Structures are given as structure tokens and as C-alpha cells.
Structure 1
Amino acid sequence: MSNKNENNMVNTQKTYGPKATVAQIFATTAQSFLLIGLGMEIGMPTNVIQHLYRNLDSEFSLTLTEVSWYGSILFIFHPTGSFLSGFLQERYGRKRCMILANVPSIFGWILLYYTHSTVSLYSSTVLMGLDIRFSEAPILSYVGDITEPRLRGSMASLACTSSMLGVLLTYFLGYLFEWRTVALLSTLCPITCICLVILIPESPV
């Protein structure tokens, strides 16, 4: 009985060796780009409103009512994104959902870059609002599925910190560049995420 327990311990050590740890860190980091993008989407309205609110020198400007709607639409569509995420991740898996979640984000950033009216501005926000809640469920589920217990807490913390990093990154870019340039640069985040998530394995659950 003692020998059997020792063999189990050895097998566990082989399974959770340095290579397994590096693989789990890489997988968590790869999908964290999705959360960085999520944070950037949450922070972007601040940059846009700063430049467009009652700005007569701009190509178009926003009234107080339009600003209120612009800030709200991002969150109004959260429930729809959550519903789609719960349905699709059980049908197609966590990995495919994480890849798919980047699609509305890419189109949302591009539409924001080319926007010349309030309608297109709202449309870009709808896409981002769907993406935010659509991406959260598969990300958090994936971290729990692929990490071993001793790493699960720290990896979950990395995922949660990534969204705050995205918000700070948006504010920093907004300080350096005009809002359209920030929108264009922001497309790099979901594109990078897709390239990295393709490399990681599907959830074993």
C-alpha cells in the first residue's frame, strides 16, 4: 500500500513538473489578452467623450444626452453577450468561444476608427458591449479547467488584473494619441489574442 502511494506521488510530480507549469502560465497569458481588450473597451468611452463632447471643432460632436446614451449602451448589451456565451461555449468549447469573442471586438474598433456620426459610434459600442460579456465566461471557465490547484488562484488573479491593465493602457494611449489613433491601435489586442489562443489546447472539460 505504501509503495502504491509513493508511485502515485511520483506520477503526480511528473504530471505537474516545470513544463506543465510553463504551459499553464502561457495558456493563461494568451487568453488574458482578451481581458486586456475588454478593459480597453470599457475605458475607451472616456477618451471619446473627452474629445467629442460639445466640441464644435470636431467633425461631429456629442450632446449631453448622446454622451449619456454612449456610456450606457456598452452595458445595456451585456446580458445578450452573457446569454450567447453560455450557450455557445457548451456547444463549441471554451477555445472556439474565446477566438470568436475577438471578432466583434475587431469590427467594433474598426467601426469606431471610421465613425463619422452618432449612429456609427453607437454601433461600435454595441459590438463592444456584446464582446465584453461574451468573453468573460469562457475565460474564467478555461482558467479553472486547465490550471492545477496550486496555480489556480494566481492564474485567476492574473486574468482579473488584465482587465484593469487594459483600462490603464487605454488612458495612457489616450494621453499620447488622438482617439481615432487609439481605436486603430486597439485592434492589435484582439488580433494578438486570436494568434495566441490558436496555439493553446482546448479545455479538457
Structure 2
Amino acid sequence: MESENNYKYGIKSVFAQSLALAGTYFIQIGLGIEMICSTIIIGALTGTNRVKNETLTLTSEEQSWFGSLLFLFTPVGSVVSSVMLGWLGHNRCMIITNIPYIASQIMFYYADNVRTLYACSILMGMSVGYSGGPCSAYIGEVCEPKLRGTLMSATNVFYYVGSLIFTLIYAITLNWRLTVLISLSVPAINIVVLLLTPHSPMWLLAKGKPDKAQRTLSKLRGWVSHDKCSNEFSDMIVYTSDAYKAVPSDASDETDETSSWGQLLHPEVYRPFRLLMIYLFFANLLSGIQYGPYLVEVFTTFGAPVNVEFTIAFSVFLAILGGTTTVLSVNKLGKRFLTLFTLSICSTCYVLIGLIGIYWTDSKPITSWIVLILFLITTFMSSYGIMPIGWVLLTEIFPMKSRNITCSFCTALGYVMTFFMIRYYPEFCTFVQFYNTFTIFGTAGLFGCVYFYYFLPETENKSLQEISEFFK
């Protein structure tokens, strides 16, 4: 495939691709709401911040299950989407994502027992899992190489926008049921937007619709003439032809070359798969995922005299700033540098939080502010680098034929990893003590920096074909 430098498009191309990704951005807003739901509801039903006149209560055990079930059931949605993606296409699959989301929010509003909360968490998990493969594959196939990292990073911004909207509504209303009811407007709008979203040109080529694929590509590159995007379209034809080679006439002679599942054993698939799993592990560990559902308790333990609800909203605002900074800088700085820089900062801050919390106990009014500020720094830095870049890599590093399966599979495993981190965080915290968790996670992150220094390639401004060749 030719280098992206041969694709000469103007500002209209950026606008057209951003417009085409509007549906995925609304999905990210919804995901941000779904992810923050447990944090808000757990805070509203437990501890000193418990909402008055609320009949529901949650024990510590119920909190851990409610906060983590979402991540346990994401693989179910991922498996279903991986099966349906090639058949229905990205757009229809992304529309289906909204159905369990809508159902969960309605059930939240009427919930009167813990079992209903569990069911809502399961439905949200299926929605989150189902969206991962279609969204990642669609972004990877629609965007031109020089914009892929930037536009994919923008999804992280919209994810945090969703969380910020939800936390601000709750901070104002202090009524979590009303908050989830208002949030139903997001999937409603998303469905309308997705009905107007074009299919991926590569998916259309794979379905034997080259004329429609070329017209779609022309629109996505700024409504240019066919000649203007002929080089890129020719490269797409070569790329999809290599990915979908004809099956031998003798079915018994079919090899793993013609099988999406068989390609999982190829170096260009299992090598990036291994790298991405390690990346997601450290991204989750150093971005505070395990603390997420318990943020009210975490901020209370820090001891700084702040309004917890608005502090959570402020932390989400910092995440939005971090994500926006990623969008503006990833093309110039590259994903490798941002990964090493932000992971090292987050790791150092975590180690400092742990050491200050354990050993500097004679100046609580000062240290309470220091550890809170350090934690908020990690919120900004993780959303600036390691979190969005992990999901950008997901859209880039797998060959086309296995992309639908690997995107869904990696998304599922990433969320299963998150489930275990959240579900067993309370027990781990009790075992090693609260501040020691930061020291342990931060030290692990420093080892992660060493690993990525040697094994993480630079994918920014590389074509999908060039990235695939690197892993062979």
C-alpha cells in the first residue's frame, strides 16, 4: 500500500470523516454514562453521601458486584457483535448497541431491589461489549492514515463528555433516578444519527459493491472526484483482496489462510494481540479503573475538604482536557512517546500517593490535598496518553480479515480484565491497605514503561498495510 503522503485531501476531508464518525461519538457519550453509572449510584446508596428517603441500600459485597458485573458481561456482547458484524455491517451493529442501553436506564429508574441493579449492570455490559468491535473496526476503515490517530483519540473525549454530563446532572439534581432518565436522550439521538451514517468503503468492497464503495470513499474524503481518491481506492482494493482471498474449490483444501479464525495463529495477529493485552492491562491499572466505582470512598479517604460530587465531575473534566490534548498532539508526538511519557508520570504519582499516605501522616491537612492533586494528575495524564492510545491501537494493528474478530475479542478480554480489577479491589485493599495499593500499582507501571520502550512500535502516520507488515 502506498504511503499516506500520496493521499492529498483538504479540510473538507477532515470534516467529512468527522461527520461520518458522529454516530461512534454518540456511542462513546453513552459508554461514558454507562461506565460512571455505578460510581454515582453506589455513592448515592452508601456511606455519608447516601441520598435521603432512598429505600435501596448496598452492602460492601453488593457494591463490588454491582460495580464490576458490567465488565464481566461485556464478552457476551463482544461475541455476539463479532458474529453479526460481517453480516450486518458496522452501522446496524452500532444501532443495536443502543437497545440494551435504553432498557438498562429504564430499569434503573424503576429499580427497587439489588437484583434489578445487577440486571441493569449486565445489560450495560452487553451494550458496551457489543459496541467495541463495530466502533473500532469502523473508525479504522473509514479514516485516512494521517487522521486515524487523531479522530480515534477524539472518541475518548466524547467518552468523558458523557461521564461529565452524567455527573454534573447528578451534582445538580442529587437524584440519581432522574439523572438516568434524562440520559435516555443520548441513545435516542444516536439511533437517528447512525441511520444517516455511511457504510465503511472496505466493508462494501468485501460485500462485492465496488461502485458504492468508491462513491462512499469520495464522500468521506471531502466529496471529491473519483480521480482524486483513485490511489487510495486502488490500495483499498489490493488490501481487501489480500484479506479475502478466494476459497479453494476443494473445501477440504481450505487452509488457515482463508479462515478468519485460522489467522489468529499467524504472527501478524498473535503478536499485536499479545502487545495489546499487555497494553490494556497497564492502561487499566494506571488510569484508576479499579478505583472508579469507589471514587466517593476514595476521595473521602484522602480527606481533603471538598464536595465529593463536584470533585468527581472535576476529575471527569480533567479527563476531557487530557483527551482533547491527545487529539491535538498525537499526530506530532506519536503514540509511542505519549505512552511512555504518560505511563511514567502516572506510575510516579501512584508511588508518591502510596508513600505519602503511609509515611507522611503528621500533616494531614497538607497531605490530603497533595494526594488528591496527585490523583487528579493521573486522571489527566492517563486520559492524555495510555487510555485513548490503547483503543487507537486496537483499530490499527490487526489485519483486515481478522479485524472484526480480534477487535471484539480484545475488547471483551480488556473488560474481563477490568472486571477482576474492580471486583477484587476491595479485598485487595483490605489485604494490603488502601495507600499500599497505589505503591504496588505504580511500581508495576514502571516495569510497564520498560516493556513498552523495547516492544511498542510507532504506528502514527502509518498505513494499515505498513502496520500489518511490521508484525509479520
For this structure pair, what is the TM-score category when the shorter chain's length is used for normalisation? Answer: 0.7 to 0.9
Letter in 1 for 2:44: H
The equivalent residue for 1:5 is: none
Q: Give yes or no for the alignment of 1:48 onto 2:41.
A: yes
State the alpha-carbon separation in 2 of the partners of residues 81 and 179 from structure 1: 26
The equivalent residue for 1:136 is: 132
State the alpha-carbon separation in 2 of the partners of residues 18 and 60 from structure 1: 52
Q: Give yes or no for the alignment of 1:194 onto 2:187.
A: no
Q: How does 1:1-205 map to 2 (within 5 A)?
A: 13=8, 16-53=9-46, 57-177=53-173, 178-205=175-202
User: Match of 1:168, SS?
Assistant: helix
User: Match of 1:197, SS?
Assistant: helix
Q: Contact conserved, 1:35 with 1:136, CA < 8 A, in 2?
A: no
State the alpha-carbon separation in 1 of the partners of residues 22 and 193 from structure 2: 9
State the alpha-carbon separation in 1 of the partners of residues 93 and 145 from structure 2: 24
CA shift, 1:169, in A, is 2.2
CA shift, 1:29, in A, is 2.5
CA shift, 1:59, in A, is 2.0
State the alpha-carbon separation in 1 of the partners of residues 168 and 137 from structure 2: 30
CA shift, 1:17, in A, is 4.5
Q: Contact conserved, 1:97 with 1:138, CA < 8 A, in 2?
A: yes
CA shift, 1:192, in A, is 1.0
Letter in 2 for 1:201: P
Q: Deviations for 1:138-189, whole angstroms, at most 9, x for unmatched residues?
A: 1111111111222212111111222122222222222112100110011111
User: Match of 1:98, SS?
Assistant: helix
- Give the TM-score, by structure 2 length: 0.39
Letter in 2 for 1:39: G
Q: Deviations for 1:107-133, whole angstroms, at most 9, x for unmatched residues?
A: 111111111111111111111011111
Which region of structure 1 is more displaced relative to structure 2, 77-86 or 93-102? 77-86
By relative contact order (CA 8 Å, sep 6+), the higher-ranking structure is 1
- Give the TM-score, by structure 1 length: 0.87
User: Match of 2:147, SS?
Assistant: helix
State the alpha-carbon separation in 2 of the partners of residues 29 and 199 from structure 1: 10
Letter in 1 for 2:30: G
Tell me the C-alpha RMSD between the 2 structures.
1.8
State the alpha-carbon separation in 1 of the partners of residues 29 and 12 from structure 2: 26
State the alpha-carbon separation in 2 of the partners of residues 132 and 186 from structure 1: 16
CA shift, 1:191, in A, is 1.0
State the alpha-carbon separation in 1 of the partners of residues 170 and 121 from structure 2: 17
Which region of structure 1 is more displaced relative to structure 2, 20-29 or 138-147? 20-29
State the alpha-carbon separation in 2 of the partners of residues 111 and 27 from structure 1: 31
Larger Rg: 2
State the alpha-carbon separation in 1 of the partners of residues 14 and 34 from structure 2: 31
State the alpha-carbon separation in 2 of the partners of residues 18 and 75 from structure 1: 39
Identity score, percent: 35
User: Match of 2:21, SS?
Assistant: helix
Which region of structure 1 is more displaced relative to structure 2, 47-56 or 27-36? 47-56
Letter in 1 for 2:46: Y
CA shift, 1:136, in A, is 1.5
Letter in 2 for 1:86: S
State the alpha-carbon separation in 2 of the partners of residues 76 and 176 from structure 1: 31
User: Match of 1:62, SS?
Assistant: coil
Letter in 2 for 1:176: I
